[in-house]
Structure 1
Amino acid sequence: MSSEFKTIRVAVVGIGSWGKAIVKTLRNEVSDVQLSHVVTSNSEVAPLLPEQTKILASWDELVTCSDEFDCVVAALPPHLNLPLAQLLLPLGIPLFMEKPLALSAQDAHTVLSLATRHQSIVHIDHIDLYNPAVVEIAARLNSPVTSVSGKIGAAYPRRAIMRPLWEYSPHFIAASLKLIASRPISISACYDNIAPELQDQEQRELVTVAIRFENGAQATIQAGNGMINKTRMLTVSATNQQFEFVDRDAVPLKENNKEIAVEPTLPLAKSLTHFVNKVRTGNNSLADFSEGVRVIEILEAADRALDERREVKL
């Protein structure tokens, strides 16, 4: 059978709330895939799965049945991405990981080194790289981007494993790197005021991160769990163009105040489809993955900038 038409067998590791969204998306919105295995300790997920899907209790079991699937999609907390990669990449198993890739630049570079050594197919789920609105902005640009300004966050409880800055900002940091297409050279960051109605018992933070680039462009991203309403807004400016993306608006994208139609496909479906197509074609380019490592370097620098109250050089 031609690889172009091959059905890709997918094993999903982690069936929490986002893992369930991944399972649903794979079943309903990604063509030519079969959900072959899930790794979860939650036996109650069985009704969500196709009848033929095998449920495994531990990811170690993937090793003994690796001939039964073509790739792994992991919906795990970031500190678990490295040990899973250490298990799977030496076996030649393609791996999709959620953002952020890791909780330190050292761990992120370790995953990149593994992927380089084993010529692995790897993918980080920075879904705004596949957001139809962001893709449309990139396609319409007719001059270099001079600035990116974004706001992303909500009022959800803080996750125990990482601070809100690391949870919310990676998508827009990755999008800024893609759109500006220049080397980031320094990071500054500051805490912003939280609305009085959100000054409760939750551990909230609202942080603005400013990224300066070698070509003179700048990205400014406000992120955190101190926003009253769920927010995802991005403004991209070039010489004669300004794009405004407001997620969940009836028409989410405007160019110079003119509404622009974009396709309705959800970014998660686009991201998963991109990974599945890499598996299908054997595409082991690490260009996008390397940018995902750069995202972790920027987040680590932002932490330093907050702690030391100064601009941090990269």
Structure 2
Amino acid sequence: MSSEFKTIRVAVVGIGSWGKAIVKTLRNEVSDVQLSHVVTSNSEVAPLLPEQTKILASWDELVTYSDEFDCVVAALPPHLNLPLAQLLLPLGIPLFMEKPLALSAQDAHTVLSLATRHQSIVHIDHIDLYNPAVVEIAARLNSPVTSVSGKIGAAYPRRAIMRPLWEYSPHFIAASLKLIASRPISISACYDNIAPELQDQEQRELVTVAIRFENGAQATIQAGNGMINKTRMLTVSATNQQFEFVDRDAVPLKENNKEIAVDPTLPLAKSLTHFVNKVRTGNNSLTDFSEGVRVIEILEAADRALDERREVKL
């Protein structure tokens, strides 16, 4: 993709609740994009779209219209990312996918192999990599990170397609990999107690995953749908620094208990803008995407650690 394209034409696949948020963000917060196509079976979404946007009933139709858009942004369940990638990447179509990338490391590596073979522009929406607070932490670090501790979750119903651990934890696993910048070597995991008021008919779980890294650092992430309040908290420690990020606080970031101002732009807008800029400049680096594959490997290892009640080597 040449940088001569000022306006990037985007096709969106999947207009569920998150797909609607993507459409709104593309229209209102991402510069120089045009929503050219959407793929959805829901005819009621038309009022959300620009008048010129074409509505397609099936993603197979994207092949027919491939000369009318520059990239695809998909808001699909994870088991559908691989078949969509198998359709689009051989055609040279850049692809944005939601987390988690897949429901198995095998499928994740298959997508990575496709992207490598076709020199594809691909992106996984681990939005906390683009969260201004996390970006600010990375910029302010003056020594290696020794530990990351996070809590992320809510009390929402369990999704049929995947367990809550896989739904909630990928964002903070990806952020930990980025901030610690060392090879993860082992995973342990355990179930935590759920508050009595949440012991209902929903299939709830609360899991703590501990990741040990080659450089001695450790990340500990509690995630699941067994939290009474919607929670997104991250503590990052280095030799002489401690950062605390609490989403939705009036000032969400502190360094050594001192409030730090951060860019108020929402992480989704930052993530979409990053992808659009990759499309605009033809940036097909797979470094971040490969880390997304590593996230799936860690989640698989966490499942094994829970089932076998032991630490699992990577």
TM-score interval for Structure 1 and Structure 2 normalised by the shorter chain: over 0.9
CA offset at residue 3 of structure 1?
2.0
How far did 1:6 drift? 1.2
Post-superposition shift, 1:4? 5.6
Deviation at 1:57, TM superposition (A): 0.0
| Preserved contact between residue 2 and residue 281 of structure 2 (Cα < 8 Å) | no
- Tell me, yes or no, if the aligned pair for 1:14 and 1:74 is still in contact at 8 Å: yes
CA contact (8 A) 2:78 2:99 kept: yes
SS in 1 for 2:146: strand
Distance 1:140 1:200 in 2: 43
Secondary structure at the aligned position of 1:152 is classed as strand
Under a length normalisation based on structure 2, what TM-score does the superposition of the two structures give? Answer: 0.99
The answer to whether the 8 A contact 2:2-2:280 is kept is no
Question: CA offsets, 1:155-199, max 9 Å, x none?
Answer: 000000000000000000000000000000000000000000000
- What is the Cα-based RMSD across aligned positions, in Å? 0.9
* 1:39-78 deviation line (CA, Å, top 9, x unaligned): 0000000000000000000000000110000000000000
Q: In the alignment, is the contact (CA less than 8 A) between 1:209 and 1:220 conserved in 2?
A: yes
Distance in 2 (alpha carbons) for counterparts of 1:198 and 1:64: 48
Q: TM-score, normalization: structure 1?
A: 0.99
- Alpha-carbon distance in 2 for matches of 1:192, 1:161: 22
Does structure 2 conserve the Cα–Cα contact (< 8 Å) formed by 1:5 and 1:32?
Answer: no
State how far apart, in whole Å, the 1-side matches of 2:15 and 2:4 are.
29
**Is the contact between residue 188 and residue 311 of structure 1 (CA under 8 Å) also seen in structure 2?**
yes
| Distance change >3 Å, CA 284–CA 2, structure 1 → 2 | closer
Q: Distance in 1 between matches of 2:249 and 2:40?
A: 36
User: In structure 2, how many angstroms separate the alpha carbons of the residues matched to 1:3 and 1:111?
Assistant: 26
In structure 1, runs of 5+ residues without a counterpart are none
Retained in 1: the 8 A contact 2:2–2:282? no
Q: In terms of mean alpha carbon deviation, does 2-11 or 250-259 score higher? A: 2-11
Runs of 4+ displaced beyond 4 Å: none
Q: Quick one: distance in 2 between partners of 1:263 and 1:310?
A: 41
Aligned residues: 314
Shift of 1:2: 7.6
Verify the 8 A CA contact 2:39 2:55 in the aligned structure 1: yes
The question of whether the paired residues in 2 share the 8 Å contact of 1:150 and 1:221 is answered with yes
> Any conservation in 1 of the 2:3–2:282 contact (CA below 8 Å)?
no
Change (3 A) 1:285 1:258: same
Partner residue in 1 for 2:118: 118
- Unaligned residue ranges in structure 2 (runs of 5+): none
Contact 2:71 2:94 in 1 (8 A): yes
